[in-house]
């Protein structure tokens, strides 16, 4: 089953996603990591984990929390994918 984008205009959707990521960053930074929005393509949100997050065994939990937060903000499903350098 393919996920559908919400009915929010794309430019507003990008702003909401960027703002939501910025809201989450301080909590991630407290643990020595960081989070960067790389791109959004439909339901696919690509983020870069930095610092301690790169080698953390709980990075998948962090990505799941990001996904849940974005779904709450957008009111629509998204897929959060880590970008590896």
**What pLDDT is stored for residue 53 in this prediction?**
94
d(CA 2, CA 21): 24
**What pLDDT is stored for residue 6 in this prediction?**
52
d(CA 80, CA 67): 6
> Where residue 20 falls among pLDDT bands split at 50, 70, 90?
very high
Q: Where do the structural domains in the chain lie, given as residue ranges? A: 10-82
Please give the model's pTM, rounded to 2 decimal places.
Answer: 0.87
Segment 40-82, tens digit of pLDDT: 999 999 999 999 999 999 999 999 999 999 999 999 999 999 9
In degrees, rounded to 5, the angle at the alpha carbon of residue 33 between the alpha carbons of residues 10 and 3 is 30
In 3D, which of 54, 84, 75, 81 has the Cα closest to residue 5?
75
**What pLDDT is stored for residue 1 in this prediction?**
37
CATH class of 10-82: alpha beta
**What pLDDT is stored for residue 76 in this prediction?**
92
Residue 21 CB burial class (10 angstroms; 0-12, 13-18, ≥19): buried
Sign of CA dihedral 31, 45, 65, 72: positive
């Amino acid at each position: 089953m393919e996920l559908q984008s919400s009915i929010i205009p794309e430019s507003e959707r990008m702003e909401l996603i960027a703002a939501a990521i910025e809201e989450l960053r301080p909590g991630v930074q407290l643990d020595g990591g960081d989070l960067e929005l790389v791109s959004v393509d439909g339901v696919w949100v690509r983020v870069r984990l930095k610092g301690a997050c790169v080698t953390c065994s709980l990075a998948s939990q962090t990505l799941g929390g990001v996904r849940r937060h974005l779904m709450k903000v957008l009111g629509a499903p998204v897929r959060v994918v880590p970008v590896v350098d």
